[in-house]
Amino acid sequence: MDVNEQTASAAGPGPALLALYDAPLPHVYGYLLARCGRAALAEDLTAETFLAAVDAVRRQDPPDAAGPRPAGPWPRERSPPW
């Protein structure tokens, strides 16, 4: 175990969880903002999205990540600006 692994294990899962949150956050928020058009609602939905992801990971039998998606791909003319 190197120094980084020791520091990460001593700090608990917090830093790793924040890294998983921070990387996709602008994309998830931007997508939801483009879909609903209201910043406050997009912020609430973004928080609920990440809470649902944490809940899914904690389950004994987490859902298959390669399973069916509820929404199809965005058409080019409706793609978010990022």
Distance CA 12, CA 34 (A): 35
Q: If you ran DSSP here, which 8-state letter would residue 73 be given?
A: P
Six-digit token string for 82: 């990022």
Averaged pLDDT for residues 29-39: 94
Q: Which pLDDT band holds residue 41 (cuts at 50, 70, 90)?
A: very high
Distance CA 15, CA 7 (A): 10
Residue spans of the domains in the chain: they are 26-56
Mean pLDDT of the chain: 75
Residue 46 makes CB contacts below 8 A (sequence gap 6+) with 25, 28, 29, 32
pTM of this structure: 0.56
